Amino acid sequence: MKGFSSIMGLEEDVFIGNSLIHFYAECGDLDYARKVFDEMLERNTVSWSSLICGYGMRNMRKGGCFCLSTTIK
């Protein structure tokens, strides 16, 4: 699955990006969830929430706080 979305040109689709962030965060692969997030051309509140919740589920407070503080700026 990794790399499939970029091969298909789906990085432009915010729905697909959000789904991938949520999927990887649920699986515990937060590095790849963050990579998908960083490569998204458009982000919305679902994008941010999915990544922040992923960090929270894994007790990675620094990552979640960084994302939260970035959204506030």
Q: pLDDT digits over 7-47, tens only?
A: 456 567 899 889 999 999 999 899 899 888 888 888 898 99
* Domain hosting residue 47, numbered range: 4-72
- pLDDT of the residue at 8: 52
Q: What six digits make up the tokens of 23? A: 């999927």
Half-sphere exposure of 17 (CA within 13 A, CB side): 24
- pLDDT of the residue at 67: 59
Confidence of residue 63 (pLDDT cuts 50, 70, 90): low
If one counts the domains in the chain, the total is 1
